């Protein structure tokens, strides 16, 4: 078979695969937000509320406590 043809087919398969990954990631982001597993938009506050005395959006200490329970 013409190697150029194989190259072309592989290229197409690769593009479709990457498109699938890209859309998969978008769906993953929106779905996990819809299911209530994640709230990505709250991380926007990380830049705004950034005093040393501010309460962390997700504190390391709180997370550790949750895990130990």
Binding site for other proteins (CB under 8 A): 7, 18, 22, 25-26, 29-30, 33, 40-48, 50-54, 56-61, 63
Report in angstroms how near the CB of residue 37 gets to other proteins at its nearest: 13
CB of 29 to other proteins, least distance (A): 5
- Exposed/middle/buried for 7, CB within 10 Å: 0-12, 13-18, 19+? exposed
CB closer to other proteins, 1 vs 29: 29
Tokens of 55: 């309460």
DSSP SS3 for 24:
helix
């Amino acid at each position: 078979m013409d190697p150029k043809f194989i190259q072309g087919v592989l290229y197409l398969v690769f593009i479709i695969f990457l498109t699938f990954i890209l859309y998969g990631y978008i769906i993953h982001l929106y779905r996990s937000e819809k299911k209530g597993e994640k709230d990505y938009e709250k991380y926007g506050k990380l830049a705004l509320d950034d005093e040393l005395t501010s309460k962390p959006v997700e504190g390391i200490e709180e997370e550790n406590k949750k895990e130990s329970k």
